[in-house]
Structure 1
């Protein structure tokens, strides 16, 4: 399993892809790398995609995402980082990312390497757009 990582600009307007982490549930090296990325890029909030069903229910994938968010919170706290970890609805983001990459001519193996990053961009961009639409203050 993999975790796509995206960043926003300092103003919280535009999401861009960063990296894909290989998820390591036992050793947690992906979480260590996430903490390092939070430090390196001075991240002020971590957004984890919540894959709900089209009916808006939580299934096994949503449970896994919630567990990952909790583990990320714990790892960040253990590292002395006071960075909130929030969940954002990610319904259809992988489908949309796949379609976008296909439209740009990225297919097959190349697509598999970047699909998680593209989905992360879609999740983060949706979160940023929703925050702006709700009148929330932009991050810096």
Structure 2
């Protein structure tokens, strides 16, 4: 992750105290919400995708309801770091979203997020049906938490430089 992009996003997203993490799938959109201090990501909900306009309307409603200052969107890179069809689809979604939801966006590497969450749910002996209900919003929380941790680490290293 580019530190400059992260720093720019952190400054641009100060319009609201919270961030929303997004795990964009073809059938669902997993959402997570940060706390007011941007320390902890919690699963919020899973939107069943219908069409672009109602999907974005729900996202906009949640952003307004929770005073969101920015969006952290999982970028589904290939394991070698290259960009495939899913990345193109995610970038296209964001291009179409920007005119309708004027919030800063940060793309965040989501490689293995769903796999990590699924393994944790299996280890917790969660039923297959329950896993399918939870995995997308938990993956969004995993993505958002990674971003929050990086942002906090960036601030801490800048504070160390001042000492």
TM-score (norm 2): 0.76
1:89 counterpart (109, 115, 118): 109
Number of the residue aligned with 2:46: 20
Q: State whether structure 2 residue 141 is matched by structure 1 residue 121.
A: yes
Correspondences of 1:40-119 after superposition (within 5 Å): 40-77=65-102, 83-119=103-139
The structure in which a higher percent of residues are helix is 2
Contact 1:69 1:86 in 2 (8 A): no
Q: Deviations over 1:60-102 (max 9, x none)?
A: 111111112222222113xxxxx21221110000000101111
- Specify every segment of 5 or more residues in structure 1 that has no aligned partner in the other structure, as ranges: 78-82
The answer to whether structure 1 residue 11 and structure 2 residue 37 are counterparts is yes
Contact 1:51 1:62 in 2 (8 A): yes
Deviations along 1:113-139, one digit per CA (max 9) or x if unpaired, are: 1110110000000111111112289xx
Please name the residue that 1:80 is paired with. none
- Moved segments of 4+, more than 3 Å: none
Alpha-carbon distance between aligned partners in 1 of 2:85 and 2:60, rounded to the nearest angstrom: 25
RMSD, aligned α-carbons: 1.6
User: Which structure 2 residue ranges, 5 or more long, are not aligned?
Assistant: 1-26, 159-163
Aligned residues between the structures: 131
